[in-house]
Amino acid sequence: MHEKLSGQPVPTEPEILAFHTRCEEFYPADAVNACIDQQRQWYDALCAEFDAPSPEGLRRRDAVVAGRIPVRHYRPAEVASETRIFYIHGGGFVVGSLDSHDAICAELAHGARVELVSIDYRLAPEHVWPAAFEDCYEVLKSLLAEGRPLVIAGDSAGGNLAAGIVLKAKAEGLSGIIGQVLIYPTLGGDLVSGSYIEMAQAPGLATGDIAYSREILKAPADNPFAHPLKARDLSGLPPAYITAANFDPLRDDARNYAARLAQAGVDVTYREEPQMIHAWLRARHMSRGAEEGFRHLVHGVARLLGTR
């Protein structure tokens, strides 16, 4: 069940609507019209507002890969597998950092009972395509070189980067990736059909925001590593857990990629959160739907890891 506001469907869960209202107090709906520094200040304040206590016993360690790429290692009190998670944060390729997704990474590592490594990749517009992609791929190679299996995960723009580096790893014959986790990812849909129209003004993310991100990133329109939905062959990719929000212009990117993976013979679990909006991960401690979605996410990740 959902209602319509200004011709657009909106959720009816009170908690997720309260979450959206709270978000807009820190990060306004027209944030993309502000300068980059202002956008980042607003986003950092938003992330700080939804910070959460660290799981008991979890340890963090910051490091640098290839002499220039900051990463953060999370080790929970209980470790059930040598497999690690490589997590890539969202933020439209413009905002976000190690700190913006710190609590999410900590809770994911704790819930899945494995070590997790997050990355602080270069952001646009200072660094356009392929800077962020290259940073993520460099860290991926560094982690795989250590000989431990890896699950690659990312949300939103991070889901794009995660899917893209998995495709490149397949193309280059890299082994060791046992799973991919894509959380409301942006994967290169056409912007003019399906959920891009139905949810064009959805709470939390508009189709215009996605167009803005593409313009500022300047990735080639025909590059499948930048737009994974344009990849011709998805066979042979690692198993996937993909989750989408119903009230999100990016919903059909996730839905269509999951369908194509399944058609290519890839083991894929797809879950669509019926009352959620984009960025619902941050609402996991105030929304029943987000709490349930996060619980399923942890379970899906743990299944890929073999810890459940």
Task: Look at residue 272 and give its three-state secondary structure.
Answer: strand
Q: Which of 42, 50, 106, 43 is nearest to 73 (CA)?
A: 106
Specify whether the CB–CB gap between 156 and 278 falls below 8 A.
yes
Paired with 74 in beta bridges are 60, 116
Selected catalytic residue, list 20, 101, 227, 278: 278
Task: Look at residue 103 and give its three-state secondary structure.
Answer: helix
Task: Look at residue 70 and give its three-state secondary structure.
Answer: strand
Q: Which amino acid is it at 63?
A: A
Residue-wise DSSP of 45-61: HHHHHT--PPPTT-EEE
* Assigned token pair, 20: 């959206």
**Cα–Cα distance measured from residue 239 to residue 295, given in angstroms and rounded to the nearest whole number:** 19
- Give yes or no: 81 in active site: no
Q: What is the C-alpha R_g of the chain? A: 18
Q: What share of the chain is helix, strand, coil (3-state, %, to 5)?
A: 40, 20, 40
Selected catalytic residue, list 135, 155, 248, 252: 248
Paired with 5 in beta bridges are 8
Specify whether the CB–CB gap between 151 and 180 falls below 8 A.
yes
**Cα–Cα distance measured from residue 42 to residue 24, given in angstroms and rounded to the nearest whole number:** 10
- Give yes or no: 156 in active site: yes
Selected catalytic residue, list 97, 100, 118, 156: 156
- Give yes or no: 278 in active site: yes
What are the catalytic residues? 156, 248, 278
